[in-house]
Amino acid sequence: MAALSWPLAHNTIRRQVKNNAFGNVRNGGTRPHQGWDLYAPLFTPCYAIADGKIEWARPRGDLGNLVLLRFEHGRQIYWAAYAHLGVIFPAEGALIARNEPIALTGTTGNAASMSGDDLHLHFEIRTMPFPGNGLGGRVDPALLYGYAPIGSTIVQTRGESRTASGVKGLLVPGVNVLEGP
């Protein structure tokens, strides 16, 4: 089973608080957040976390410009959702390779007022393409990645830098460096 890549080059939960990770983490534990908010300055490149197919690549409600990438992992089918995007690269139906750039982050949908340290990619792992509100039809991304990067930054190298680093899971103070493809 191929490892998943992380969606950004530098992956860390916005403001390092669990309210911006997955679960019933908002309004004192009464309101759900369906994914991770990964801090990202405006127009940060987003990458395919796995080989898969683009099943949605246009605006959708509060999520703004949304990409849904359908992929298989551990014999399960999932959809990675990338939301509030500024620019989307692939067309719907495109077949995408892991680590291919697919979008630039933005402030579309209900992220329009975000700025500074709140700029982010909203990232979900779904078990169906279009679940409703609440947490149903999603899983905690930490289930697939092992943990949420709160208080740490996961640096995902890709392509040529894989050879340069040649290491897997190297722990650098404050930063985890994972190998590329």
**Token pair of 86, please?**
């500024």
Minimal distance, residue 35 CB to Zn ion, in Å: 6
Is 54 within 8 Å of 90 (Cβ atoms)? yes
Which 89-118 positions form the footprint of Zn ion (CB under 5 A)? none
Minimal distance, residue 171 CB to Zn ion, in Å: 28
Nearer to Zn ion, 94 or 139 (CB): 139
Nearer to Zn ion, 26 or 168 (CB): 26
124 binds Zn ion (CB under 5 A): no
Q: Give the one residue of 12, 13, 14, 37 binding Zn ion; rule: CB under 5 A.
A: 37
Distance of CA 12 to the CA centre of its chain: 10
- For the chain, the helix, strand and coil percentages under 3-state DSSP, each to the nearest 5: 15, 40, 45
Which stretches of the chain bind Zn ion, using CB under 5 A? 37, 122
